[in-house]
Structure 1
Amino acid sequence: MSSQIQEKIEKYIQSCGCELYGIELVKDFGQDVLRVSVYSKEGVSLDKCQEISHLISPFLDVEDPIASKYILEVSSPGIERVLKNPRHFSFSLGEEVQVKNIDKTIIEGVLKSCDDEGFVLVNSQGEHKIAYAQTKKVKTIFRW
């Protein structure tokens, strides 16, 4: 999908008070699904997902960014979500995260700050500056 189309989708989503979290084309039971994840600090309701879907669906029909037939799915990335880029980290500041490093160590703590190179995690052992390149998987965690 072109960056221009992605930018327009992002503007539609922002007009609804949310942020674009990610767009991916996946196969689900043999059907192509264009999965658009949206984020808001206040949470994303089913009504908000429906509003965004109704807003971007006609745009996608006109632009036709995907050659095959697909289903549009608009959803929240969830309470426990994978952080893949600096933008995801900035959305999750102040939240508890679990970091699996490439050396297989696991560390948990509160996400204090982030920039283009890495992030700072705080836990009972102190502050940990971690480069994105050192991580294998980072996700938010929710304690029940």
Structure 2
Amino acid sequence: MSLQNDIESLVKSVGLELYDTSVVSEFGETIYRVAVISPEFEDDKRKGVTMDECVELTHLISPLLDVTPPVSGEYRLEVGSPGLERKLTTLDHFTKSVNENIAFTTMENEKIKAKLVNVDGSKLIFENEDGTTEIEFNDIRKAKTYFEWK
């Protein structure tokens, strides 16, 4: 099993879903980030992840990383939510963001803001005031969720 699969199993064991893992460098420090989301919804919105859940996961993942380090050298483990506004870089990220507002740029540099209503294979289906738009995942240059204040 890979480290990613082992982490995903630990995340599922506490009732959450693995969103992403990444290695970043901030202020000269290497950070191994594990982003998790809740699989549960409330009023059509994904429930948040609590600080207690993040602490519990940190205690579960840390011993695994002692045996199988994600990077060479020193690093810090950071477990948390990817946040309300997060980058979408994989098809799985889009699948986990259905019914959320997405701002994206196509390969032709067209900028669109719309609600993601469905993912059908590699086809992403969006709705906004201009109607319904279907775009292939590979035709998106960059994307992120965004929060609209009301």
TM > 0.5: yes
Deviation of 1:139 (Å): 1.0
Deviation of 1:115 (Å): 3.5
- Number of aligned residue pairs: give it: 142
Amino acid at match of 1:70: Y
2:7 to 2, 6, 9: 9
Aligned partners of 2:32 and 2:70 also within 8 Å: no
Aligned partners of 2:101 and 2:116 also within 8 Å: yes
| RMSD, matched Cα | 1.3
Deviation of 1:104 (Å): 1.6
Amino acid at match of 1:98: A
Deviation of 1:36 (Å): 0.9
1:127 aligned partner: 132
**1:36-64 deviation line (CA, Å, top 9, x unaligned):** 11111311122111111111101111223
2:90 aligned partner: 85
Deviation of 1:4 (Å): 1.0
Closer/same/farther in 2, CA of residues 99 and 64 from structure 1, 3 Å limit:
closer
Amino acid at match of 1:95: E
What TM-score results when the alignment is normalised by the length of structure 2? 0.88
1:92-103 aligned within 5 A? 92-103=97-108
Give the match's secondary structure for 1:84.
coil
Deviation of 1:135 (Å): 1.2
Give the match's secondary structure for 2:2.
helix
Q: Which blocks of at least 5 consecutive residues in structure 1 are unaligned? A: none
**1:36-93 deviation line (CA, Å, top 9, x unaligned):** 1111131112211111111110111122342211100111100011111111111111
2:116 to 111, 114, 136: 111
Give percent identity, aligned residues only: 38
Q: Distance in 1 between matches of 2:130 and 2:49?
A: 34
Q: Which blocks of at least 5 consecutive residues in structure 2 are unaligned? A: 39-45
Q: Which runs of 4+ in 1 moved over 3 A?
A: none
Amino acid at match of 2:94: F
Q: Distance in 2 between matches of 1:77 and 1:65?
A: 19
